[in-house]
């Protein structure tokens, strides 16, 4: 699985800035992948685990966070560059859509198991934060995006290019590229109607874009 990931790093995407704060969440960069840290009253929460354990431990130390203190890891999906470092969160519950367990089994040889199954449309409360779960099947069967305090954490459902446009992931990386693009358009339509709530669209493999305009334009709405 390593070679497609390396190719992804070469795409014409906007830069990821480690430590960048987007409302309540902080970007935690490892190479070409970002996970996001959400500090909460109940303890730190991660959106995706990050790729490499040593690098993620270092990047979290820069934020003053010990991975052992993380209480929850919310997965956008189960590809290895999003779950590779999951072992460092020794006390965290793992949250994901149940449809992702198959990918997790493949990518982790059965070692990574969902503790808290999520539901499409669910509003999760952790500490003082409400987290909306939106299913976006296609890149993987159980891909999810999370809306937290005006920031939509997109996982691999979209990329922001250096020109500021939105693109779906390269189709060779998605289980079902047509479904992935359809899901992204459904998401664009849903977020367009709530544009006053959305400050940032934040993919895992590029920098973010402000507001919903780029996503709406991509969807041709
Ligand atoms: Zn992926």
Return the percentage of the chain with pLDDT > 70, whole number.
95
Beta-carbon neighbours within 5 Å of ion ligand 1: 79, 156
Q: How far is the CA of 14 from the centre of ligand 1 (A)?
A: 17
What digits encode the pLDDT tens for the residues 100-140?
999 999 999 889 999 999 999 999 999 999 999 999 999 99
Average per-residue pLDDT for the chain: 93
Least confident of 13-17, 33-37, 120-124, 208-212: 13-17
Q: Residue 185's pLDDT is what?
A: 96
Q: How far is the CA of 149 from the centre of ligand 1 (A)?
A: 24
Query: What is the rounded average pLDDT of the residues 157-184?
Result: 92
Q: Show the tokens assigned to 109.
A: 């040889």
Q: Are 117 and 138 in contact (CB under 8 A)?
A: no
Burial class (CB in 10 A: 0-12, 13-18, 19+), 159: buried
Q: What domains lie within the chain, and their CATH numbers?
A: 16-219 (3.60.15.10)
Kindly indicate the confidence band of residue 193, based on its pLDDT and cuts at 50, 70 and 90: very high
Q: Is 185 helix (H, G, I), strand (E, B) or coil?
A: helix
Q: How far is the CA of 30 from the centre of ligand 1 (A)?
A: 15
Q: How far is the CA of 18 from the centre of ligand 1 (A)?
A: 20
Q: Show the tokens assigned to 139.
A: 């890149």
Q: Residue 2's pLDDT is what?
A: 43
Q: How far is the CA of 184 from the centre of ligand 1 (A)?
A: 14
């Amino acid at each position: 699985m390593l070679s497609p990931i390396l190719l992804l790093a070469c795409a014409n995407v906007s830069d990821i800035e480690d430590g960048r704060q987007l409302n309540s969440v902080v970007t935690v960069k490892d190479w070409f992948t970002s996970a996001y840290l959400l500090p909460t009253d109940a303890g730190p929460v991660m959106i995706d685990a990050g790729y490499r354990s040593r690098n993620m431990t270092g990047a979290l130390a820069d934020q003053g966070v010990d991975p052992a203190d993380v209480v929850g890891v919310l997965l956008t999906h189960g590809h290895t560059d999003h779950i590779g470092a999951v072992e460092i969160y020794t006390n965290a519950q793992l949250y994901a859509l149940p449809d992702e367990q198959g990918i997790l089994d493949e990518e982790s040889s059965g070692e990574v198991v969902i503790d808290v199954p999520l539901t499409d449309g669910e509003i999760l409360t952790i500490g003082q934060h409400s987290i909306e779960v939106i299913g976006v099947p296609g890149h993987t069967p159980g891909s999810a995006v999370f809306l937290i305090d005006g920031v939509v954490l997109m996982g691999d459902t979209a990329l922001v290019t250096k020109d500021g446009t939105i693109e779906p992931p390269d189709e060779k990386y998605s289980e079902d590229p047509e479904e992935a693009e359809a899901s992204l358009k459904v998401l664009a339509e849903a977020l367009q109607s709530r544009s006053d709530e959305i400050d940032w669209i934040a993919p895992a493999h590029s920098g973010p874009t402000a507001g919903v305009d780029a996503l709406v334009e991509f969807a041709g709405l």
